[in-house]
Chains A and B, each alone.
Chain A
């Protein structure tokens, strides 16, 4: 019996391989499936693995992605040990110079940070914050929950007179990069004292490891406040704050408001997509949002691999991939940005020649 099932299994998988190969042969005129490797950011890993799986099922090309962290993604891409990298913070000019400029940043989805806190007396009442208040909280200048500025922002909410304790990430992370990028953009004091980075010298607070570490510390101590990845906050049903954006509206982090932040971005004609979308203009834009990028070599020596990557990227900017992203609570690229990304993908080369 078990022998029979095994045999059926083998036959079925052979059939599958055959069909996959046949589809591929019809689709691209090529026979052999390609193996691609990538490494980098952990934040988009769930959606990347779903995309790579769907891509594998439809083309037979396998993409092996290791979610090691953005730093490792940039490093491995620069060293050429992977076919593509992924990062939450764009490569800086020195890093790009180190690879002789042979890198294209392609935005894939959007991420955002949510402010969350623990005030047992208020339960899940949504609180409002603005840029200056958040900067002062994380600079350690606001130390009580009933600070006049917080009270003024939240009329009608009985903020308790307890100590305000900051919790931040202890491990280097893209989430911290987005958060400090936002604070640096809106507060000159933060920008000079602390700056932006995946790990920074925090003026106050204690560090939790990972989104779950921060959340645990917030849950256990009353009066804590911290930032976590938006998807994490939503899926764990944490209270999230509305943040006042550039146009003066208080916006909660949602897929729509994050996409809106990207829709307002103006990309120059020759953009390399290394743009920050924190503190974006636009009425519905959530201010603590960011792209996450794939790092791709514009001219891979291996034409087959280049072709496979290009095929994946073109599919990734399409509606089917965007729907998958929304399903997993990743804000997809707004159409205007996706079109620009597509135009850039069209220029990718393989072994020196422009790909079909």
Chain B
């Protein structure tokens, strides 16, 4: 590890032939895809989690929840294949040209559209973590005592006011826990991301450009670590870094829960 030093984290060249290893693009890629996925998955899954028990008509509550939970049981390689054959063709024909035309003034939506890209990987991650966040937060919301809801309604609140002022705040720490679970899954996801991210050691401003994640680098190169022992050490150091990043992100999240529960007093 001493051989690599800090440059392992800060540099961007990954050249197994010359024995030069810089993990910066992979670190950025890991955080970027996970956070993007989270930012898309959280509103979606919370929306579903709140809608289903509170607003949805009775007969569809159970089936819809079950179907979404089923998504969690699909192996990630299947997600990857689905991404290659269905999602990417769909995105490149419909979504990306639209984004480029409407939001092309932003640096995130410029450059050639290859298909496999940071954005494609983030979207598949979103689909993969929605069931986790949705089902846990739904359980948490269901566990809110009905007195809480009834009290709010009795005070003349509309149903939405009851949800937003009485129920969600009560379940807040549980919901954050669900989000962290999703984040953990997103950070460590390997196969589907490898298949969709384009696997390029490069940090690009555009989300249409290919990138890399730490888990994907390890999965791709470990079996054939051709640069000999140095290459292998670099990959193992990468794994340690990934662990470090995961611990760090989780610690920050725990801190957030702690502060939330502190702010609410000892309820």
Q: 1/0 per residue A84-104: CB within 8 Å of B?
A: 000001001011000000000
A161 at the interface (CB under 8 A from B): no
Which of B15, B199, B216, B228 has the most CB atoms of chain A within a 10 A radius of its CB?
B199
Given contacts A197-B17, A200-B15, A207-B199, contact A70 B210 (CB under 8 A): no
Given contacts A72-B224, A220-B88, A220-B92, contact A201 B18 (CB under 8 A): yes
Contact of A206 among B89, B200, B221, B228 (CB under 8 A): B200
A209 at the interface (CB under 8 A from B): yes
Closest Cβ neighbor of A207 among chain B residues: B199
In the complex, are the beta carbons of B194 and A209 less than 8 A apart?
Answer: yes
Q: 1/0 per residue B225-257: CB within 8 Å of A?
A: 111100100000000000000000000000000
Q: Which residues, 283 to 338 on A, are CB-close (under 8 Å) to B?
A: none
- Cα–Cα distance between A207 and B220 once the two chains are bound (Å): 10
- Cα–Cα distance between A206 and B219 once the two chains are bound (Å): 16
- Cα–Cα distance between A94 and B228 once the two chains are bound (Å): 10
In the complex, are the beta carbons of B199 and A197 less than 8 A apart?
Answer: no
In the complex, are the beta carbons of A206 and B114 less than 8 A apart?
Answer: yes
In the complex, are the beta carbons of B195 and A217 less than 8 A apart?
Answer: no
In the complex, are the beta carbons of A206 and B220 less than 8 A apart?
Answer: no
By a CB distance below 8 angstroms, the chain A residues around B201 are 201
By a CB distance below 8 angstroms, the chain B residues around A71 are 223-226
In the complex, are the beta carbons of B199 and A206 less than 8 A apart?
Answer: yes
In the complex, are the beta carbons of A197 and B116 less than 8 A apart?
Answer: no
In the complex, are the beta carbons of A221 and B114 less than 8 A apart?
Answer: yes
In the complex, are the beta carbons of A172 and B224 less than 8 A apart?
Answer: yes
CB distance from B189 to the nearest CB of A (A): 14
Number of A-B contacts (CB under 8 A): 99
B198 at the interface (CB under 8 A from A): yes
By a CB distance below 8 angstroms, the chain B residues around A195 are 17-18
B157 at the interface (CB under 8 A from A): no
In the complex, are the beta carbons of A200 and B92 less than 8 A apart?
Answer: no
Number of interface residues of B (CB under 8 A): 34
By a CB distance below 8 angstroms, the chain B residues around A173 are 224
B112 at the interface (CB under 8 A from A): yes
Q: Which residues, 205 to 240 on A, are CB-close (under 8 Å) to B?
A: 205-209, 213, 216-217, 220-221
By a CB distance below 8 angstroms, the chain B residues around A165 are 112, 114
In the complex, are the beta carbons of B112 and A163 less than 8 A apart?
Answer: yes
By a CB distance below 8 angstroms, the chain A residues around B216 are 170
A198 at the interface (CB under 8 A from B): yes
- Cα–Cα distance between A198 and B216 once the two chains are bound (Å): 16
In the complex, are the beta carbons of B223 and A209 less than 8 A apart?
Answer: no
Closest Cβ neighbor of B194 among chain A residues: A209
- Cα–Cα distance between A122 and B15 once the two chains are bound (Å): 36
Q: Which residues of B contact A (CB under 8 A)?
A: 13-18, 20, 84-85, 88-89, 92, 112, 114-116, 194-195, 198-201, 210, 216, 219-221, 223-228, 231
Across the A-B interface, the 8 shortest Cβ-Cβ residue pairs: A172-B224, A207-B199, A170-B199, A198-B226, A201-B15, A69-B223, A195-B17, A71-B224
A-B contact list, 10 entries, CB within 8 Å: A70-B224, A71-B226, A165-B112, A172-B220, A173-B224, A197-B226, A198-B226, A206-B116, A206-B199, A209-B194
Known pairs A69-B224, A170-B199. 13 more at Cβ < 8 A?
A: A92-B228, A172-B221, A177-B226, A197-B16, A197-B226, A197-B227, A199-B226, A206-B116, A207-B210, A209-B199, A213-B84, A217-B115, A221-B92
